[in-house]
Amino acid sequence: MFFEPLTAWRHVEVTARRTQIDYANLMKYLVDEQFPQAQKIIVVQDNLNTHVKSSLYKAFSPSSAGRILDKLEFHYTPKHGSWLNMAEIELSVLSKQCLDRRISDKEVLTEEVAAWEKRRNETALVVDWQFTTEEARIKLKRLYPSITS
């Protein structure tokens, strides 16, 4: 799942598994097809074991992997903090609106997800992000330093 909050664009890719090769191919798609003119793409992601730079070196030649990685800047959500990730919020919406029933096979799943994605993108639905810095300092106090004089 990709979600670009400023333009309300999302993309969902249905794969058989979540492998490092799948991840690498999606990063390549992001760089080469979705944002080819971008100088830098900021990627906020969780700490899944496939979400590592070395995944690209497993999938591509060193020069290709390096070229893709040069355009990407990674930021990771805190462990146990996937609720901070807007893509996770979009996945929750996908699950409730599209995947709340038995789907017979991968082909049907792919078609259903593509239709959901198209509808969400056409209507430019955004995530209503209401988490403030003050709330973050309370909920994530262990991540913020305590300053005493």
Taking only the tens of pLDDT, the chain with its 149 residues reads 898 888 889 999 998 888 999 999 999 999 999 999 999 999 988 888 899 999 999 999 999 999 999 999 998 887 766 556 778 888 888 888 888 888 888 998 999 899 999 999 998 877 777 777 777 777 777 666 666 66
Cβ burial of 76 (10 Å; 0-12, 13-18, 19+) is middle
Instruction: Judge contact between 3 and 10, C-beta under 8 A.
Output: yes
pLDDT at 10: 92
Cβ partners under 8 Å of residue 54, min gap 6: 20
pLDDT at 83: 54
Query: Using CA atoms, how far apart are residues 13 and 63, in angstroms rounded to an integer?
Result: 25
Instruction: Judge contact between 132 and 22, C-beta under 8 A.
Output: no
pLDDT at 42: 93
pTM: 0.77
pLDDT at 114: 92
Question: Would you give the DSSP letter of residue 7?
Answer: T
Q: How many CA atoms lie within 13 A of 52 on its CB side?
A: 9
Query: Using CA atoms, how far apart are residues 50 and 46, in angstroms rounded to an integer?
Result: 10
